[in-house]
Amino acid sequence: MSALQGAGYRSGGARRQVVEFLGRQDCALTALEIDQGLPGVGRASVYRALEQLEQLHLVQSLDVGRDAKGYERIDPGGEHHHHIVCSRCGKVVPFEDSRLERAIDAVASESGFDVRGHEVTLRGRCGPCSKLRS
């Protein structure tokens, strides 16, 4: 919010609601899920807010294999997590790993890019699904 104001944005209701709603979630949600979770907010406003928030690096989008993109808030504290997705049942499990982060930081610093974020997704079958044949 303060970051929003600092970036020259007015404290409009819709965008603030999106940020706060995402802040309450444990893991990524799709734009449509966010829209459904905010009955008073128009769908277009949700998409517009997500676009702006992503540019401000307050929100990160990621592909969890579902039909739509997922969005989640970036923790200002710097801690963040990644995801393991079950390709059969769609379950998404977050994880974090400092060794992985260090490896990514090393790559980023050698890349010639001004890297602002990253995303890691593992895909496979969760415990229960790996015991099934189909």
11 or 98: CB nearest a second copy: 98
Q: If contact means CB under 5 to 8 A according to the sort of partner, which of a second copy, DNA, none does residue 41 touch? A: DNA
Tokens read off for 97: 């790993």
Q: Which stretch binds DNA (CB under 7 A): 66-74, 75-83, 85-93, 119-127?
A: 66-74
Q: Decide: is 9 part of the binding site for DNA (CB under 7 A).
A: yes
**Cβ atoms 51, 18 nearer than 8 A:** no
Tokens read off for 122: 């593992």
Q: Decide: is 116 part of the binding site for DNA (CB under 7 A).
A: no
Phi/psi at 92 (nearest 5 deg)? -120, 125
Half-sphere exposure at residue 131, Cβ-oriented, CA atoms within 13 angstroms: 2
CB of 38 to DNA, least distance (A): 8
